[in-house]
Structure 1
């Protein structure tokens, strides 16, 4: 089920109906990352200008500036998950409408979240993701745990956020949480796919559109399995509690 959703999303990302959305998503993602890069570089530059060693040892100043730039570049990998959440919150309904109309034409389409609500969810997740990834960044110089913490945290966060955005088009928030918990391992595995893509340069810029399409497919397939199991209403029960 997960792999079929992954392959379907990979097909969708470069399909003509989503290509225009993809370019917009890439432009917004690159713009946000560039703004973060410029802001951090400017702050570090101001700090170095005021440091006494900068005037006495210009070479140290140059080396520090180079290392700061390289450090910011590495840090952007940790900032990509929260940035992608904001972008996904903005474009998810556009992606979902294309996927649902083309691949599930006989089913009732989802209801687009109000833009403010979608962006609120994206910003809420971005804040949590930023906090978690800053903690992971502090472990950068500890081999082993840094990658494990980074991967595990983002697998959980990305899986949860993208799935809830996709399912939120069909269910109230409390039902979405129950459904996610019922399928926690599948959703976590989907998040692991996205967390793995974060580690791949350039490809990681596709996460907002790919993640949205993948979770739309995954949610649809999970609902089909629930209906096939005998719940003709598709109503979510309260047997599970969110974790």
Structure 2
């Protein structure tokens, strides 16, 4: 697993991955900015400060802090959303570079990929809303964030890598046989997502990581460089 993680880190810095990286970062930033502006506009409309400008300033500061925390927790759902857009492209790059001796994976039909991504994104949003509520309990939020996202991100990204080579039922069975390893890999992804700025590259890292892990768990080793 450690070797797979380092291989994925090396991959996302390679020139051929940069185009996908910039697309992922651009879309992530754009979506977060839209969410930020929409929430800020809604709060300004909702709260009537009247002739008390100091109250408007206080509300702006407090809501700004709350929005920063909330948007920080939204990074995981956003990366889940874009995972479906870039999974096949990133996986294909990793497979061709490191495993040219193996048959190439099969790209999922666009409709199937988008439906699966949407369902997964909604689940991740639910988990992170629970984490946001648990901010009131010191120390619990970080644990909930890592465990919840570790399980979900590990499951989703591993199955996305596995279904390129086998039916989804077989991919789930394979995930079940290697559950502890995949959960630990998901925790690594969760830690990656928790690092500000760095987490913008999370879809690339997570996909490359799970492609490497899937190959290793099924007995395929990378070709010599």
For the criterion TM > 0.5, the same-fold answer is yes
- The corresponding residue for 2:6 is 7
| 34-43 or 105-114, larger mean C-alpha shift | 34-43
Which protein shows a greater Rg? Answer: 1
- The corresponding residue for 2:161 is 166
Deviating runs (4+, > 2 A) in structure 1? none
CA drift at 1:65: 1.4
Conservation of the 8 A alpha-carbon contact between 1:163 and 1:187: yes
Alpha-carbon distance between aligned partners in 2 of 1:159 and 1:77, rounded to the nearest angstrom: 19
Q: How does 1:146-225 map to 2 (within 5 A)?
A: 146-224=141-219
CA drift at 1:197: 1.4
CA drift at 1:56: 4.3
- The corresponding residue for 1:126 is 121
- Which of 72, 81, 85 is equivalent to 1:90? 85
- The corresponding residue for 1:37 is 36
Per-residue CA deviation, residues 131-175 of structure 1 (Å, 9 max, x unaligned), is 111011001121011111111101101101111111111111111
What is the number of equivalent residue pairs in this alignment?
220
User: RMSD of the TM alignment (CA)?
Assistant: 1.1
Conservation of the 8 A alpha-carbon contact between 1:151 and 1:192: yes
Per-residue CA deviation, residues 51-107 of structure 1 (Å, 9 max, x unaligned), is xxx114321121111111121111111111111011111001010111101100010
- TM-score between both structures, scaled by the size of structure 2: 0.95
Q: Which has the higher contact order (CA 8 A, sep 6+)?
A: 2
| 183-192 or 216-225, larger mean C-alpha shift | 216-225
Segments of structure 1 that go 5 or more residues without pairing to the other structure are: 226-243
CA drift at 1:117: 1.5
Alpha-carbon distance between aligned partners in 2 of 1:145 and 1:157, rounded to the nearest angstrom: 18
Conservation of the 8 A alpha-carbon contact between 1:158 and 1:191: yes
Conservation of the 8 A alpha-carbon contact between 1:77 and 1:198: no
- The corresponding residue for 1:58 is 53
Indicate whether 1:144 and 2:139 are aligned.
yes
